[in-house]
A and B are shown apart, each in its own frame.
Chain A
Amino acid sequence: MDNILLKDKVCDLPGYFAAGGYKPLKKALGLKPADIIEEVKKSGLRGRGGAGFPTGLKWSFIPKDAKGPRYLVCNADEGEPGTFKDRELILKNPHALIEGMAIAAYAIGAETGYIYIRGEFAAEGALLEREIFSARAKGFIGANILGSGFNFELHVHRGAGAYICGEETALLDSLEGFKGQPRLKPPFPAVKGLFASPTVINNVETLAAVPAIIAGGGEWYAAIGTPKSTGTKLFCVSGPVNKPGVYELPLGVTFRDLLEQSCGGLKEGKRLKAVIPGGSSTPVLTAEEAWAVKLDYEALATAGSMLGSGGVIVIDEGQCMVKLLQVLARFYHHESCGQCTPCREGCGWIEKILNRLECGRGTRKDIDTLVSIAEGMTGRTICPLADAMAMPVISFVKKFRAEFEAHAAGKYCPPDAPVKR
């Protein structure tokens, strides 16, 4: 099948327009907002940022009688280790996002939108500014879009370096000019979000799928993929494979096909040890589990993991699982925003214990302590960052316990570099 999101060529506005771009926007502006939401519900589109929440349903949570402004926010704070699809999508097909936002804004009645892009993506942010400028010049963004009477202003807002801002309520705080710390819910953003107004926050990939859904219809989109995991997904593959990169494939594709057909298999001499299927926070799969798994929301849940962001991290036999978990623990400890004790303290303890184990000073009891801290953190915090640390810890220890025990017995791998504290 043809790609929906990533085309072969880089699409600037003339190229996008020539390929039928912005026709869906014109079509959408002739429909009732409720009908657009209905079409997106029919498509089965689910949030591509990681949580997989049904997009049409999310839009329908905006209170119909809400007075005052409403906002549409695009989450382009791509930071989940192993994930690099939104950057690729912005670079190659920015107008799919811009048009998708205009349609979504019309559907929810928002006249202002923000693309919150991670601070490191300076070039991508500048590209979006330029392309929004071009779209405005053609009347696709701004006042009275295509003569419909609908107004939509779209701004790019750059983050400043904080993984936690990918969590939607932390993102809102950051967009308002505060530290990015997740908010207690309820109230949910649909009721009280950005600037205390009704707000929808969607991932780049989610919004970029909207024009195709309006053009082809919800039923057409729902026929792609599996009955519950509809459409295509951008899979980002990293690790020792021949062709790492971003691949757009129907949901439900097997890991084996992704690895062997799209990525050209593992690099010569490498053997598969494990796969983290959906970004660093999703539970790790053993090679055996990975070879058998399909990549969709349901199949990965059945396998004990998650589709997450589609960041597929391939791990080969040469890697030490204790070291890799230490790398992840350092990251989550660094990125914990600090407001919930289980996360702030838990991530730190986990990192310290892993530092100890990795350099051969740990004990067997430490291994159980790791699991007990992780279980104690799960579900006890405002946002899922604690769970994002706990899931790798629990799954790494459960599935690769022998490696942890070898470290505890003093048979540790040499550290990569002298540890400086």
Chain B
Amino acid sequence: MAFKLTEEFKARAEKVCAKYPRRDAALIPLLQELQAEAGYVAEEGMDELAAFLGLPYARVKAVVTFYTMFNREPLGKYHLQVCRNISCHMAGAPGLLNRLREKLGIEEGETTRDGMFTLSAVECLGACGAAPVMQVNEEYFEKLDEAKLDALLEDLRHGRRVAGR
């Protein structure tokens, strides 16, 4: 069945559009809403959103592919995003990345077979004073070391709720 924006989504979307003098300024927030629901932005979603905002598909696609936070395919349940910029690098980020590669058996950009984890190396997350830092989905985990990382992975694997920061 073809993907359609729900009436409920459209009603919420109208409220977002109302924050701006031009409807198309709501494009990025609405893509974020779509992604929050499905975990990624599908081609059909881009088509539908383009029609809803009265934009050419190419404009939507250009935006989705420009910004790093839009996923064009489903990710694992937990998206592990390890900062690899200068302060985190000095604080041991390469070792953390290696540990995750080994423990999960995947490389950056890949997802484990059980669909639990996607591994990414990302650029500065803006929390350099608490380096090394990893974002799991939207939450920050700071001042990490291998022991903390191992414990965090175990908690996530067993579905235990863990708080960041």
A residues touching B (Cβ–Cβ < 8 Å)?
69, 78-84, 86-87, 118-123, 155, 157-163, 174-180, 195, 236-240, 244-246, 276, 280, 311, 313, 315-316, 319, 323-324, 327-328, 330-331, 334-335, 416-417, 420
Given contacts A160-B32, A417-B97, contact A79 B124 (CB under 8 A): yes
* 10 nearest CB pairs, A to B: A161-B69, A160-B67, A416-B94, A161-B68, A177-B27, A238-B128, A238-B87, A179-B66, A81-B124, A122-B138
CB within 8 Å for A179 and B63 given contacts A160-B69, A280-B85: yes
Q: Tell whether B51 is near chain A: CB-to-CB under 8 Å.
A: no
A-B contact pairs, 5 of them (CB 8 A): A158-B28, A161-B70, A280-B86, A323-B89, A417-B94
How far does the Cβ of A34 sit from chain B's closest Cβ, in whole Å? 26
Known: A174-B28, A311-B128. A81 touches B63 (CB 8 A): no
Are B86 and A81 within 8 A (Cβ)?
Answer: yes
**Residues 103-156 (chain B) with a chain A CB within 8 angstroms:** 107-108, 123-131, 135, 138-140
B56 in the interface (beta carbon within 8 A): no
Contact B28 A160 (CB under 8 A): yes
A331 near B124 (CB under 8 angstroms)?
yes
Tell me the bound Cα distance from A21 to B84 in angstroms. Answer: 39
- Contacts A155-B19, A160-B31, A244-B130 given; indicate if A327 touches B67 (C-beta within 8 A): no
A275–chain B nearest beta-carbon distance, Å: 12
When chains A and B are docked, how far (Å) is the Cα of A417 from the Cα of B84?
12
Residues from chain B with Cβ under 8 Å of A330 in the complex: 84
B binding-site residues for A, Cβ under 8 Å: 19-22, 24-29, 31-32, 59, 62-63, 66-70, 84-87, 89-91, 94-95, 97-98, 107-108, 123-131, 135, 138-140
Q: Kindly list chain B residues whose C-beta atoms are within 8 Å of the C-beta of A78.
A: 126
Which of B22, B67, B90 interacts with A239 by CB under 8 Å?
A: B90
Q: Are A158 and B29 in contact (CB under 8 A)?
A: yes
The answer to whether B86 and A327 have CB atoms under 8 Å apart is yes
12 more CB-based (< 8 A) A-B contacts, given A177-B24, A319-B90, A324-B86: A79-B126, A81-B87, A82-B128, A83-B126, A160-B69, A163-B123, A179-B62, A195-B21, A239-B87, A244-B128, A313-B86, A330-B84
Query: How far apart sit A246 and B19, CA to CA, in the bound complex (Å)?
Result: 33
Q: Is the pair B21, A69 in contact by a Cβ cutoff of 8 Å?
A: yes
B126 lies within 8 A of A120 (CB) = yes
Return chain A residues, CB-CB under 8 Å to B126.
78-79, 83-84, 86-87, 118, 120-121
Report the minimal beta-carbon distance from A402 to chain B, rounded to whole angstroms: 20
* CB-nearest residue of chain A to B108: A420
The verdict on A177 contacting B128 (CB below 8 Å), with A119-B67, A158-B32 known, is no
Assess whether A80 is in contact with B124, with CB atoms less than 8 Å apart: yes
Q: A83-B126, A119-B69, A239-B90 are in contact. Are A176 and B131 (CB under 8 A)?
A: no
- For A69, A80, A179, A238, the residue with the greatest tally of chain B CB atoms inside 10 Å of its CB is A238
Roughly how many angstroms separate A36 CA and B18 CA in the complex, as a whole number?
31
B35 nearest CB neighbor, chain A only = A160
Docked complex Cα distance between A272 and B135 (Å): 30
Asked if residues B67 and A315 are in contact (CB atoms below 8 Å), the reply is no
A-side contacts of B129, CB under 8 Å: 84, 236-238, 244-246
Q: In the bound complex, do residue B128 and residue A81 qualify as a contact, i.e. CB atoms below 8 Å apart?
A: yes
Are B63 and A178 closer than 8 Å at their CB atoms? Answer: yes
In the complex, what distance in Å separates the CA atom of A178 from the CA atom of B24?
Answer: 9
A177 and B28 contact, CB distance less than 8 A = yes
> What separation, in Å, do the CA atoms of A158 and B126 have in the docked complex?
15
Closest to A328 in B: B86
Bound CA–CA A250/B68 (angstroms): 37
Bound Cα distance A335, B124 (Å): 11
A residues less than 8 Å from B89 (CB atoms): 323-324, 327
Among B19, B66, B95: residue with most chain A CB under 10 A: B66
B98 touches A331 (CB 8 A): no
